[in-house]
Structure 1
């Protein structure tokens, strides 16, 4: 706000007369307007708000795009926006009759939503039966294991290594076969790309096979076209296949680029260690692996993810091990990361162990580890992480099938 005010003052000093507009997304902020008043420019502004609460990223995905909503200081400012978005959704699809919430923030959102419904009732006269039957709210902190594990689907790996942002990924043009040095390209990744829609949720190894089969099939079709006489109908079918060639080329290039990361021994070793940690099969092996990662000075984000996974599944680390790893991290990566480690401790992600871990009980009760998953023809969500079924997904499955009442004791853990 002070930056904006400085521009206005600069215009005034030059004798320029202009109209000034400020629009807040998704709503006006009193603190911001107060600064404008203190800078004596508020009366010169036309101020409004644009109620954009969710962004449609795909045909079945709405995102709040609140990357910084999960705060260590417990700031709940984003919860009103989430509740407001759901309330607006209900104005289009009817009041959702069943609401389940797990976690403090989710319960708060449910309370705010109920208050909004009381203050601004959604008219149900035009919609006898709501189109949405159940809303399930789950706090991120309820399941901090899943985001620390490596995704193994095609879309998951693209996000893992290249970072999907607003439904697209930005990478060097050379990756896509365009030789323009230093130029970046944005590649859209959504359901409008029919091939991506087909392969996005497949295990990466299966995706490679699918792309190979499609490329071989197209090559055979081309050979037949050039060596035999084809009917008009056959020509038309071939042209249709040619229309999908840009999509196929795009994903072959992407898959080839991803394979450079997935074939690295360090990545494969990390996958094995993630599985060992989730299974809770050997504390000492896991501790030594993390110690070795720190000594090798592997990327800090990789070390912290595996460390958090280890700490969360063990309800923290014994004081001796906690102090040792913390000290080693600061010596290897620099004392400027002390604030990061302090925040992780405040959030309970990397902390001293105060009680016995209940991970084994939760793991068995919710069947979080599934052996012998068939990645080619999966029948369980565990294929996404090569044997680990996300805790949050298991909660949703139970909520839909039999409700949470039969597993209340497990949920308390």
Structure 2
């Protein structure tokens, strides 16, 4: 059950089911990203794909009727109109049209009417309407401004389409549960259920029925996880450098070679990255060192070309050697830049304070340390603000709360008004009154086992002080698999299955408002530790701290701030 393999299979289906011969792929902006994240363009081109074009950027160029055109687009009104225009004046000999989701009969009819030259050979629906970032992680890659505190515009429709495509593509017929205090989660659950009922004919197997659960959560229930500094390779790259469609820009790095100004960081296209993405900061340094030593050994062998046999071996191994050379150069550059940023911004000290703040209970020590960092001019403005945000969330109900003093310290260092407003917005977005979870374990436990769990929370399996925190998602999954997830907090949408305590084998978790790479790591570890089960995680987007703050700002725009008076 892999979302990456599902997308790859659909792309392979498109290419192999058409007639032999050279082809062009015509895609839209979103489907281009769906393909590029899971497959390198060179890999696609080896399968007789000659060229790639964007449907929204085509012009009336030269007629290439000798080429076959594979169209892979989302079934939006804009794409239907553009495709109809393309068919009215076709530039290619034949067209094979594949939609990334369910397409309406009226749109198919419109295309049939536009196909006056009878160049369309096939129209099919594929269910790959999402970015597959790893086997267990997908994103709808939705713009931040699309989601507020209520569904608006086309955000609900887009989310339903993307999430339904995952279920249809993997042939998962789930029971549905949702976070009870979230109106957005409830609405999404109802719409997904209705879509499944309407499109029930798309299921050609009922093997997963009764064994699958779709669990819809709301980002507001855990506003802490997106704010924390992360230390796995994958999460650090996203947090400190930014990943966009599986690519990372290194153009800002001093002295970087031209071929490294933008690099691919995708586990589906980089074997070393796939093996290393879940390693922590300390481990990745040693792994890079081992990679370099192996490269140097091969380099010394390549330089010893003394006979015809040596030359033959050199030619045969050169492509692999060159690939390894590129891998070494890329990851040495990336890790070097990460190391520079960690040192320059003092992120180890900041992260240690963050972890002790959200996982510890010593208020006075936490407060003293935060004051030291907030008033330290070497600490970045954004890091100082995030520390105060985490303090506000963690000690919101503490009678000794000193938010007034911390805000005053931020003002003294001339923090921008935007960040000061965000402090209030965040508390309205994800403060105690907006959550249904006991995020910090501060509510009165109901029984001895709960008390024991709270006392030892954060100790078991902790690698170091920088990784004490575990996302709320882990606790939710553990309660679910034990049959203890409260139906009052996570009700079923529609009739519950006959046995609500049975452990589902397949779980699709979708977080309205965005997931994080820390939660992806949690799911990876959960799947490893529970071989009889499989969890897939999806979100409206994949957040860094910066994008999460942007989303909070967008969501709370125009809503009066109440939770925190500054």
SS of structure 1 residue aligned to 2:166: helix
Partners in 2 of 1:124 and 1:411 — Cα distance? Answer: 28
SS of structure 2 residue aligned to 1:347: helix
Partners in 2 of 1:364 and 1:242 — Cα distance? Answer: 55
Return the TM-score normalized by structure 2: 0.53
Return the TM-score normalized by structure 1: 0.70
1:150 positional shift: 1.1
Partners in 2 of 1:205 and 1:409 — Cα distance? Answer: 42
Q: Name the residue aligned to 1:37.
A: none
Partners in 2 of 1:363 and 1:333 — Cα distance? Answer: 40
Which structure: greater strand fraction?
2
Per-residue CA deviation, residues 119-174 of structure 1 (Å, 9 max, x unaligned), is x2321562232498332322112222211211101111111211222222212264
SS of structure 2 residue aligned to 1:201: coil
1:364 positional shift: 6.1
Does 1:365 pair with 2:453? yes
Does 1:266 pair with 2:346? yes
Partners in 1 of 2:265 and 2:461 — Cα distance? Answer: 30
Residues 128, 165 of structure 2: 8 Å contact kept: no
Kindly indicate whether structure 1 or structure 2 has the higher relative contact order, using CA contacts under 8 Å at least 6 residues apart: 2
Does 1:333 pair with 2:415? yes
User: Which blocks of at least 5 consecutive residues in structure 1 are unaligned?
Assistant: 1-23, 30-47, 376-382
User: Which blocks of at least 5 consecutive residues in structure 2 are unaligned?
Assistant: 1-72, 79-109, 111-126, 492-566
Per-residue CA deviation, residues 74-97 of structure 1 (Å, 9 max, x unaligned), is 222334432232223333333522
**Partner of residue 200 from structure 2, selected from 101, 122, 129:** 122
SS of structure 2 residue aligned to 1:151: coil
Partners in 1 of 2:409 and 2:204 — Cα distance? Answer: 63
CA RMSD in angstroms, aligned pairs only = 4.2
Q: Name the residue aligned to 1:140.
A: 219
Partners in 1 of 2:399 and 2:325 — Cα distance? Answer: 56
Taking structure 1 as reference, are residues 26 and 338 closer, same or farther at Cα in structure 2, changes over 3 Å only? farther
Count matched residues: 355
**Partner of residue 150 from structure 1, selected from 214, 229, 233:** 229
Does 1:65 pair with 2:133? no
Q: Name the residue aligned to 2:295.
A: 218
Taking structure 1 as reference, are residues 185 and 218 closer, same or farther at Cα in structure 2, changes over 3 Å only? closer
SS of structure 1 residue aligned to 2:261: strand
1:241 positional shift: 3.8
Taking structure 1 as reference, are residues 335 and 249 closer, same or farther at Cα in structure 2, changes over 3 Å only? closer
Does 1:90 pair with 2:179? no
Residues 154, 202 of structure 1: 8 Å contact kept: yes
SS of structure 1 residue aligned to 2:272: helix
